[in-house]
Amino acid sequence: MVDYVTAIKRPYTDLKSLVIGFIVSIVPLVNLLNTGFALLSAKNTMNGQAEVADWMSQIVEIVKKSLGVVIIGFVYMLIPLIIIFVGAGSIITTIIASTASGLSQQQMMTAITTGGPIMAIGGLLAVIAAYILPSAMMAYISTGFGSAFSVGTVFKKAFKIKYLVAWLVAFVIAFVYSIIGAILIAIPVLGWIILSGLTSYCLSITMYTIFAETYKEL
């Protein structure tokens, strides 16, 4: 059974890692390392270890896992993004072509009704990809990079009730973090630093811990 309370507390159990994670989170691009760190921590979870990963001794592996996350995320989102761009391109092209003769309301509606549904399909596929991605990430740290693209295994686990429940709980936790973040933004400079740390470091560890525990039970 997934221990959601422990997953929420986990980012705060190691002060040194927390501080490093917060520092990393405020540097653009470098903050991607937090995802790799969270994945390694999730791997510890799968191996029955309560400790988070170690920044110093595992930095090379953290970098590798972070790059893996970027590649896997890109591959899963590629088709949805292409479809969205095609739809947007259709709308923009129609508008540009009609502007020369004066864009009428009917032409605007034609552009939207032509490209809009295509964008909607792309958006739906993007949501599905976002839903499946945690399963792919768990397969990645469980049995290797290629496993993230093992459609049979990844999809089979992603469409089980336990996974859906974990995803919804993770979504709610992310929503709560966003509310906290909206409050913290009012604090000049410091608010953004704390918000970056919470969303880049703490939230990623909590979410991947939840999915790691879920993945073991699927």
User: What is the DSSP code string of 70-103?
Assistant: HHHHHHHHHHHHHHHHHHHHHHHHHHHHHHTT--
Cα 135 to Cα 137: distance, rounded to the nearest angstrom: 5
Structural domain tally of the chain?
1
The confidence score (pLDDT) of residue 104 equals 59
Output the CA–CA distances (angstroms, integers) from residue 109 to 88, 102, 106, 117, in the order listed.
Answer: 14, 14, 5, 12
> Token pair for residue 94?
């129609």
- Is pLDDT above 80 for 100? no
> Token pair for residue 164?
């859906």
| CA terminus-to-terminus distance, the chain | 11
Considering the chain, what is the average pLDDT of its residues?
A: 89
Amino acid (one-letter) located at 48: G
| Exposure string for 40-50, b = 16+ CB within 10 A, e = fewer | bbbbbbeeeee
- For residues 33 and 104, the model is more confident at 33
The confidence score (pLDDT) of residue 115 equals 76
The confidence score (pLDDT) of residue 101 equals 58
Q: Which residue stretches of the chain are H helix? A: 4-9, 15-25, 33-46, 59-99, 105-143, 151-158, 161-184, 190-197, 203-217
pTM over 0.85: yes
Structure confidence by residue, pLDDT tens digits, 20-54: 999 999 998 999 999 999 999 999 999 999 999 99
Q: Please tell me the least confidently modeled range out of 12-21, 109-118, 140-149, 153-162.
A: 109-118
- For residues 106 and 49, the model is more confident at 49
> Token pair for residue 134?
């945690």
User: Rounded to 5 degrees, what are φ and ψ at 207?
Assistant: -65, -45
Range(s) of the domain holding residue 83: 4-217
- Is pLDDT above 70 for 97? no
Q: What is the mean pLDDT of residues 180-196?
A: 82
Q: What is the mean pLDDT of residues 134-147?
A: 94
Q: What is the mean pLDDT of residues 150-168?
A: 94
The confidence score (pLDDT) of residue 187 equals 82
Output the CA–CA distances (angstroms, integers) from residue 203 to 85, 91, 92, 209, in the order listed.
Answer: 30, 37, 37, 10
